[in-house]
Every structure is written in structure tokens, then in C-alpha cells.
Amino acid sequence: MHLSSLPDRPFELAELRELNEAGRFRAVFPAAVFDIDGSEAKLVPAAVLVTPGEEGRVVGVGYDMDSGWTRVASEPAGEAVRDQLEAVGRDLQTWARETEQRWAESDGPTALVEHVREKREGGGED
């Protein structure tokens, strides 16, 4: 999985659902979801993706507002995928805290929305 194929901003929840339904991944799960006031849209700055096939992997990706998407965790998908999903989710939480991700702070949802607006206004929309 190439991070360059991800958008240059946090996912919207609807995009993750579409990605899950498209069959490109075995499963796609949001690891953090933020409501946008005055809108039905929800932003997802952290997700767990399960790639298909015998070589499938459980991959945790987090959005860094300064540098974009980061692969936080990646391990071969085993028999206990549910346990792996939970472990990767914890890895993402730890990463967000340790790297002081702005969206993980108390005013994070506001900062995340402002960041996305700046990206769109600056022509960063894909």
C-alpha cells in the first residue's frame, strides 16, 4: 500500500466507506472520527486498513497536519484480525499522543477543520 495514493488531507468518513465497499481492501476502519459543526461530514485523521490476499496486512495510518499521512503500524494479517485491529488502534492513539498531533488535543476538531479548509482554499484538494 502506497501512502501517496491517500488524499492530501484527512479522510472524510464517506470516503472510507466507499473505499471499504470498493473491494480494494479486505476492511477499512476509522480509528478517530470528528464531526464538523453545521455539516453532516465527519473527518477521519486515523484509520486501520486490512489489505487483501495471502500477503494481507493490518496497516494503521495517521494524518500529520505538517507532513501528511504516516504509516504508524503494519503487520501481517493473522487469524486474530480483530485483536490486531485493536492493537493497531492503540498504536495510533500512542502515536498521536507521542507526536503531539494537533487533532488529538482538546481543540483538535477545530484545528482539523481549519486545516482542511486551508488545504481546499490553497488548491490542495485532489
Kindly report the CA angle at 98 between 100 and 74, in degrees rounded to 5? 115
For 100, the grid coordinates are: 503531539
Reduced 3-state DSSP string for 78-93: CCCHHHHHHHHHHHHH
Mean pLDDT, to the nearest integer, of 87-110? 88
Q: What pLDDT is attached to residue 13? A: 93
Distance spanning both ends of the chain, measured CA to CA: 19
For 38, the grid coordinates are: 453545521
Q: What pLDDT is attached to residue 64? A: 94
Q: What is the pLDDT of residues 25-43, one digit of tens each?
A: 999 999 988 887 777 778 9
Q: What is the pLDDT of residues 44-67, one digit of tens each?
A: 999 999 998 888 999 999 999 899
Long-range contacts of 109-115 (CB under 8 A, 24+ apart): 109/34, 109/35, 109/36, 109/43, 111/65, 112/10, 112/34, 112/43, 112/45, 112/65, 113/34, 113/36, 113/37, 113/43, 115/9, 115/10, 115/65
Whole-number percent of the chain with pLDDT over 70:
96
pTM for the full predicted model: 0.84
Show me where the domains of the chain are located.
3-121
- Confidence label for 123 from pLDDT (cuts 50, 70 and 90): low
Tell me which of 78-92, 93-107, 111-125 is least confident.
111-125
